[in-house]
Structure 1
Amino acid sequence: MSRRTADRVRVAAVLFDRDGTLVEDVPYNGDPERVRLLPGAKRALDLLRAEGVATGVVSNQSGIGRGLLTDADVRRVNDRVDALLGGLGTWVYCPHVPDDGCGCRKPRPGLVIEAARRLGVAPGDCVVIGDIGADVLAARAAGARGVLIPTAVTLPEEVEAAPATAPDLLTAVNRLLAQTQGGRR
């Protein structure tokens, strides 16, 4: 997108990281009342839905494995985000701590592969948008494309290594739509 752009490509689904991408990052948030959408998030989802692009969330939630959150806490927060954004097609999250060695925790491909399966699309027809290197690495590992939206927590080397970047979520989605499905945007 910003540095390297692809020719027109098919995008069947866009998968988002949750914290720091769609909503303000509140570490280990289990309280739906603390959910705040990031600027442009609702508009970005509305644009994707209007173009018939499936959406989902892929999120590491190690607070469950650390005993700081319950599965029910994460689901309540996800439900709040879903309600504020008008509904996403699927939610997939990893409850494990980094040392568990699971195949789902980003940067591994499991969450992306599972979200694509649930949406009925090939991982290669997905784009993953997130705010840290693990998001774009998970995309790459699953055969999807990744877009990094740098924030204060994004490392400079993650920005340099990212296949594509955008300054914010709405810009990322507008650029993606301009590249896809005949470039209608």
Structure 2
Amino acid sequence: MNRAVFFDRDDTLIRNVPYLKNDELIEIPQGLEVYLSRLKQVGFLLFIISNQSGVARGLLTPEDVEKVNKKLLEKLGGTFFEKIYLSYEGPSQELNWDRKPQPTMIWKAATEYDVDFEKSFFVGDRLADILCGRNGGCRTIFIDQGKKDLESYISRRLSTFIVNSVFEAIEKILSTLTLKE
């Protein structure tokens, strides 16, 4: 079975621009590709798991989301991610089968890529990310942006690890490997 890292997209891998459809506005932290390479080198499969409710709200099309994701992958300059899983459901829809915090998207990855959740991580900046990872059986890493709201408080309490950046999250994942070896 494979170990994996599931990444939220907005405010985790790229700066959050609400309902992003202009691929020229994508901002990736400098050096991210080096860190992603390190995860790949030690055998992690990498995935992006993203709610894109702007589609359900009529603010984006699936094509807009795909265009942004394609540009994100181009800017990273490598084939780091096995697959990107997306939910276009809105938060007010009656049945939210795919939308985080439901673990449906990571369960799909587990089925398609033989993922062992006990050896896997979910990295994100929102409570929905932490709950998705926990609901699926992963260790979770909360990227704490210093907000003093209830959602951030609960995220800090429920996550396995708390960090301040995606770089620190990757370092934390790598450090768990050396602790076991």
Answer yes or no: is 1:124 the counterpart of 2:118: yes
User: In structure 2, what is the Cα distance between the partners aligned to 1:33 and 1:118?
Assistant: 32
Match of 1:177 among 150, 174, 177: 174
- In the alignment, what sits opposite 2:24? 33
The Cα of 1:43 is off from its aligned counterpart by 2.4
Per-residue CA deviations over 1:96-143 (Å, capped at 9, x if unaligned) read 001222221111111111123333323333211000111010011111
Who is 1:44 aligned against?
35
Tell me the SS of whatever aligns to 1:148. strand
Q: How far did 1:53 drift?
A: 1.1
Q: Supply the distance in 2 between the matched residues of 1:129 and 1:40 (Cα, whole angstroms).
A: 17
Question: Do structure 1's residue 15 and structure 2's residue 12 form an aligned pair?
Answer: no
Bigger relative contact order, structure 1 or 2, given CA contacts below 8 A and separation 6+?
A: 1
Work out whether 1:105 is the aligned partner of 2:96: no
Q: Unaligned 5+ residue runs, structure 1?
A: 1-9
Question: Within 1, Cα distance between the matches of 2:41 and 2:133?
Answer: 24
Distance in 2 separating the partners of 1:20 and 1:133: 13
Q: For structure 1, which segment, 49-58 or 158-167, has the greater mean C-alpha deviation from structure 2 after superposition?
A: 158-167
SS where residue 80 of structure 1 aligns? helix
Aligned pairs for 1:82-97 within 5 A: 82-85=73-76, 86-87=78-79, 88-97=81-90
Aligned CA distance change for structure 1 residues 78 and 118 (closer, same or farther; 3 Å): farther
Residue 68, structure 1, aligned to residue 59, structure 2 = yes
2:157 aligned partner: 160
Q: Cα 1:135–1:34, aligned 2, differ >3 Å: closer, same or farther?
A: same
The separation in 2 between residues aligned to 1:133 and 1:57, in whole angstroms, is: 16
Residue type of the alignment partner of 1:23? I
Tell me what 1:3 maps to: none
- Calculate the aligned-residue CA RMSD, in Å: 2.1
Amino acid at match of 1:51: V
Partner of 2:131: 137
Q: Which has the higher strand share?
A: 2
Distance in 1 of aligned mates of 2:30 and 2:164: 12
